A = this chain, B = another copy of it.
């Protein structure tokens, strides 16, 4: 990045020598403006001249370069999507929905995974800004988004999805996480369970702390005490989930039900529960493929990742098309899907 502008490495020579519009103009014996008209499909060129220019384009292998036009027009028709992990099914559904909406507006999509690393989020986001994306859709992991203020002031639209922005006011599309958990935990209480475990993600993650809040509120509202040994927040790595759930099940007074805080926890917990001698009720946050084919089939409170992605991206393009007004927060409801594992009675 610190190379002088005209330095060219060996590889750059091989991959960099492209014919320009000037070359086309010289070969066709016309002015630059005429070549530009042909390339951009503008009127005012005779068929004969158009033919001469096209021949020169073909002979030289000239290809239009959007970068130059982008510099002139101020819009790049591209959107940057920053999320936690492109390889996680929840985010791949969300990404696909963002891509579809962006495509409807003629926009291409940059994607990048933050891996729950705030520095990596910032690095990716600013790299997208330096490429002059028109807008950003961000699943945030940072505690402080003030680093985006100069970008937003410079005109980059941004919408946060799944989790809100921190320390700046910005559009956000979220699931009502606490509300969805309340429904799931109340369902377990309704089956007679009193000793209900909650295993969730890192508590610094907004969705994780909101879900924990939903659990605590529901237990409190039902007059049920929470033993802190039943609550475990941290990495969703299978090893950690295995260890924590095994500890809770091996207790002399074991938990009889589990609310798992996201699909990574649910999948890891299923491996422990399948090996368990005693049936343990389970409600998971987030639906997942094949949940209906397991035995018992897995009861979940489902978010709709595609709808989160679609709604956020529509909001982004509304802003780009001139919608003003204060930042908006859209909350989508979760949905309890009853399948069997959550109906194992105490």
Q: A residues near B, CB below 8 A?
A: 1-6, 8-12, 14-19, 40-42, 61, 63-76, 78, 85-89, 91-93, 95-96, 99, 103, 108-113, 124, 127-132, 134, 150-151, 153-157, 267, 270-271, 274, 288-290, 293-295, 306, 320-322, 324
Check if B92 sits within 8 Å of A87, measured CB to CB. yes
Check if A150 sits within 8 Å of B74, measured CB to CB. no
CB distance from A171 to the nearest CB of B (A): 14
Of B3, B95, B113, the residue contacting A87 (CB under 8 A) is: B95
Check if B75 sits within 8 Å of A86, measured CB to CB. no
Residues of chain B within 8 A of A91, CB atoms compared? 92
CB distance from A155 to the nearest CB of B (A): 4
CB distance from A181 to the nearest CB of B (A): 23
Residues of chain B within 8 A of A110, CB atoms compared? 78, 108-111
Check if B112 sits within 8 Å of A99, measured CB to CB. yes
Q: How many copies does the complex hold?
A: 2
- Given contacts A65-B130, A67-B76, A295-B295, 5 further A-B pairs with CB under 8 A are A63-B130, A68-B71, A86-B92, A99-B113, A108-B127
Check if A75 sits within 8 Å of B15, measured CB to CB. yes
CA distance A71 to B5 in the complex (A): 10
Check if B78 sits within 8 Å of A87, measured CB to CB. no
Check if A2 sits within 8 Å of B40, measured CB to CB. yes
CA distance A4 to B61 in the complex (A): 25
Beta-carbon nearest neighbor of A58 in chain B: B150
Beta-carbon nearest neighbor of A124 in chain B: B108
CA distance A304 to B324 in the complex (A): 47
Check if B99 sits within 8 Å of A95, measured CB to CB. no
Residues of chain B within 8 A of A127, CB atoms compared? 108
Check if A154 sits within 8 Å of B18, measured CB to CB. yes
CB distance from A90 to the nearest CB of B (A): 10
30 contacts between A and B (CB under 8 A): A2-B40, A2-B42, A4-B42, A5-B69, A10-B322, A12-B75, A15-B157, A18-B155, A19-B154, A61-B150, A63-B129, A63-B130, A63-B150, A63-B151, A66-B131, A78-B131, A85-B96, A87-B96, A89-B89, A92-B95, A99-B111, A103-B112, A109-B110, A109-B111, A109-B112, A270-B290, A270-B293, A288-B289, A288-B290, A290-B294
Beta-carbon nearest neighbor of A43 in chain B: B2
CA distance A214 to B11 in the complex (A): 40
Residues of chain B within 8 A of A78, CB atoms compared? 110, 131
Check if A5 sits within 8 Å of B96, measured CB to CB. no
Decide yes or no: A293 and B320 within 8 Å by CB, A41-B2, A42-B2, A112-B99 being known contacts: no
CA distance A76 to B65 in the complex (A): 12
